[in-house]
Structure 1
Amino acid sequence: RLAEKLEPASRLKWIQASVGNQIQMIPVDDVLFFVADEKYTRVQTAQQEALIRKPIKELLAELDPAQFWQIHRSTLINTRAIAGIIRDERGRQLVAVKGRPEKLEVSRSYAHLFKGM
């Protein structure tokens, strides 16, 4: 995979994102999660939500795979933002995000990431 071949120096350090009518530079370490939303990808930090036009697949190739896990075809989460794993009444795994009300669904394809937790 390309992500594994990228040298750490070439990994994405900043996300250039739209916040309202401004363009902001968001440090990748501040991002809690990314969620695909039609033509855009939502970038969520503890303080704000922003939008970028880069698809999840491209982001995944540019981010550190030890720091960002894909948990659904539309979702990447910063491993440092994982508060815990919850099972809902239908048995689906949901990731609780530190400091946020969202619970992010883990698809069956990615459930193996949490087997040891």
Structure 2
Amino acid sequence: MLPIRALVADDEPLARARLMRLLGQFPDIEVVADCANGGEAIAAMREQKPDIAFLDIQMPDMDGFDVLDSLPAAHHPQVVFVTAHSEHAVRAFEARAVDYLLKPVSGERLRQAVERVRQRAPQNQAALPGDGESGLRSYPARIAVPVGLRIQLVPVDEIDFVSAHANYVELHLGARTLVLRATMTQLEARLDPTRFLRVHRSRMVRLDGIVDVETSASGQFLLRLKSGTRVASGRSYHPRLRVALGLVAGE
């Protein structure tokens, strides 16, 4: 399989070096350019044509959005925005960003972003079954879960939320809980991202199962599901959650 060619652009040398070091742990990611400003990023994108660009939003000469606007849409790579501020999240996802990382970037959040990039990589998309001529990925309507000597086929519509525990996950379906040997990242890649959203490093919810959202004293979002269960979100996941639920800043 061909490596995924990556570009890193950040005007802060330490932040750029840290991100490149973290990316070095992924054998299928090849950093083909590291840039200190928007102008360098544009030139490198035109020359190197990377598959993915990790763009700092705030740079002295132009921001990450300006970098994208300077290139023809047909030549845009996948983009993961990296920033110290969460207020740009809505605009980032309107720009069809793969992910939105808050500094300082943790290894776990970067791993999640890389997994999203892998799923959208051209070589993976071409090999996905069920794509047909449309080139769009299809997602399973049911998940196979071993239960004793049987394999139960669980409709994804019945999954309220998922919680992770070491090397397995629990599927919560109303009053029932089923155990599946898989990581959260592996299961997340199998589920339709327009229907399921990771809201915590160890929790994922079905979006149309959310009834309302509360804000706790600690600043967490508490998501009340149709089943009556409340699921707490993690702070680093708030930008994606706001976009997915149509929440405006300050809510």
The TM-score normalised by the length of structure 2 is 0.42
Q: Highest Rg: 1 or 2?
A: 2
Query: Residue 234 of structure 2: which of 87, 103, 107 is its match?
Result: 107
CA-based RMSD of the aligned residues comes to 2.1
Which residue matches 1:69?
Answer: 197
Q: Which has the higher helix share?
A: 2
Aligned residues: 115
Question: What SS does the aligned partner of 1:50 have?
Answer: strand
Distance in 2, Cα, partners of 1:71 & 1:103 = 12
Higher mean alpha-carbon deviation, 105-114 vs 61-70, is at 105-114
Question: What SS does the aligned partner of 2:160 have?
Answer: strand
Segments of structure 2 that go 5 or more residues without pairing to the other structure are 1-116, 129-135
2:196 corresponds to 1:44: no
Which 4+ residue blocks in structure 1 deviate beyond 6 angstroms?
Answer: none
Question: Amino acid of the residue matched to residue 233 of structure 2?
Answer: V
Give identity over the alignment, percent: 27
Per-residue deviation, 1:90: 1.9
2:219 corresponds to 1:91: yes
Per-residue deviation, 1:73: 0.8
Per-residue deviation, 1:77: 0.6
Q: Deviations over 1:38-64 (max 9, x none)?
A: 332010112411110011101111111
Q: Deviations over 1:68-111 (max 9, x none)?
A: 001011111100111111111222211111122x3211111111
Q: Which has the higher contact order (CA 8 A, sep 6+)?
A: 1
Question: Amino acid of the residue matched to residue 62 of structure 1?
Answer: R
Segments of structure 1 that go 5 or more residues without pairing to the other structure are none
Retained in 1: the 8 A contact 2:196–2:205? Answer: yes
Distance in 2, Cα, partners of 1:84 & 1:3 = 30
Q: Deviations over 1:16-56 (max 9, x none)?
A: 22457754211111111110023320101124111100111
The TM-score normalised by the length of structure 1 is 0.83
Question: Amino acid of the residue matched to residue 205 of structure 2?
Answer: I
Retained in 2: the 8 A contact 1:69–1:78? Answer: yes
Distance in 2, Cα, partners of 1:75 & 1:41 = 9
Distance in 2, Cα, partners of 1:81 & 1:21 = 31
Retained in 2: the 8 A contact 1:3–1:65? Answer: no
Which residue matches 1:31?
Answer: 159
